Chains A and B, each alone.
Chain A
């Protein structure tokens, strides 16, 4: 007898963004936690329908941005006033008005890095393998497929009841995906 494969969860396909949106509300209200919605393009307000909390990204951006600005200023102060002091057009070594652009730019640069890489980290990207790619149907997600996947590790998960929930929420196809 072949070894039974582990199940990742249930994948449900929905016909359009509106159906996906309302299905998300139902899954959210049923109290699931380990699930996600997939769409070829951003669906406005989906984060509310999914009941997602506030993103942590702004805090990462704030910390990175302030660090960038601080380090930018320190770097210039250290270079022009400590390590290699030069008198330039009779200005003091620590001529902070001249440091403003670089300070600002480094604040923005590190803030942007924080936004992009912080988002990557929170989404655990890049991922070389994801169970959902075991489903042939899931390839449609880059074109015209709208999906919800509820993971088997969710405490509310039940192969029958979860399937019924998804079907009642308007899924046009529900399938079990191997891990």
Chain B
């Protein structure tokens, strides 16, 4: 029972809108510059390094895409479950979600680099490889492009629709029709999400090493998506509050729930990752184990262990603490930790394939990794910052906003 009840009318404009002079309003410009410098710089350094460029680009894209898709998932899940607690942070997730059309455009270079990334795209290789010939009805350049475009279009359209409906609700007289519409369409959007993310993970990540297969692979990427969005929301919420907005709107009760979800899905990630590993390790069939084998040597072994302990064991023991979930500074620390873990995980999925192809078992982290990360991240933050300034920071007309403002954990 809190000291007093907060009603929607109590919210002052400077609590829920970015002030005109807020530093956050510079984010589109700063992000735009970073995008130009990062992506431009990486493209400029591409010649002679094509393969490394595309591998670095894919790694960075997957990292930022996980956050963007997380916004999609978070928003739709809250609608589908009629969640009350999350309304005060849902607009932020919607702002993340609306980066998807841009991230979709930024995914197009994958198709340009198809021959550098995916060796099943070379017809002469497939012709001499019985396994790849067998997989060719699915894994072929034409279908890969069509599927890729379908994923991107689905993400962009669903994100656009839900973003538009929600922001239109802000100025509507009766919020109920739009609330019902979003709730009604959310389950279909989630089905599309499940299918598109699963197939995108198979196409874009798993097929880097086309002989290897894992039926749980889509879920693996999904686990990272859910961890990423909660981590990103935690960081953004606390930074926004430090800058003066959302105070008294987002409370430690909401931190706690974001933290719980982050914790739960990092455990879920570990469960999926271990389930995938365990079955291959136990059966010990060479065509299945080699994918883990080259991640278990040299520098990659260090990275693998870093993931086991850094992404699961250490946060499992320490971030279990209720107090650390409810305290802004420690929540941000662990959220940043999780985001670093997500980047390492994407790196671990993508880049060993290239090293392995060149007979190396060492990690070569380089300038292209940094530039593509900054570049795609800059574009992501530019769109996110634009959306932050465009509408209120909370869905002001949502029927459950008041419930969310007064939400408390038991």
Contact = CB atoms under 8 A, between A and B. Distances in A.
Do A and B interact with each other, yes or no? yes
Interface of A: 17-18, 21, 42-46, 58, 89-91, 97-98, 100-101
B284 A43 contact: no
B274 interface: yes
B277 interface: yes
Contact of B282 (A17, A45, A98): A98
Nearest to B278: A97
A44 B1 CA distance: 5
A100 B278 contact: yes
B278 A89 contact: no
Contacts of A46: 1
B318 to A, nearest CB: 11
Interface string B1-45: 110000000000000000000000000000000000000000000
B264 to A, nearest CB: 14
Nearest to A17: B1
A106 B284 CA distance: 26
B315 to A, nearest CB: 15
Contacts of B281: 97
B408 interface: yes
Chain B contact residues (Cβ within 8 angstroms of A): what range?
A: 10 to 19
Nearest to B253: A44
A43 B282 CA distance: 50
Given A42-B410, A97-B278, A100-B278, A90 B2 contact: no
Contacts of B321: 58
Q: Is the interface of B mostly helix, strand, loop or mixed?
A: loop
Nearest to A22: B1
Contact of B277 (A91, A97, A101): A97
A45 B282 CA distance: 49
Contact of A89 (B277, B284, B410): B284
A45 B284 contact: no
Given A17-B1, A45-B2, A90 B277 contact: no
A18 B1 contact: yes
Interface string B156-198: 0000000000000000000000000000000000000000000
A43 B1 contact: yes
Nearest to B281: A97
Nearest to B274: A100
A50 to B, nearest CB: 13
A24 to B, nearest CB: 11
A117 B321 CA distance: 20
Contacts of B284: 89-91
B41 to A, nearest CB: 42
A21 B1 contact: yes
Contacts of A97: 277-278, 281-282
A44 B373 CA distance: 44
Contacts of A17: 1
Interface centre among B1, B2, B284 (most CB of A within 10 A): B1
26 contacts: A17-B1, A18-B1, A21-B1, A42-B410, A43-B1, A44-B1, A44-B2, A44-B408, A44-B410, A45-B1, A45-B2, A45-B408, A46-B1, A58-B321, A89-B282, A90-B284, A91-B284, A97-B277, A97-B278, A97-B281, A97-B282, A98-B278, A98-B282, A100-B274, A100-B278, A101-B278
A91 B281 CA distance: 10
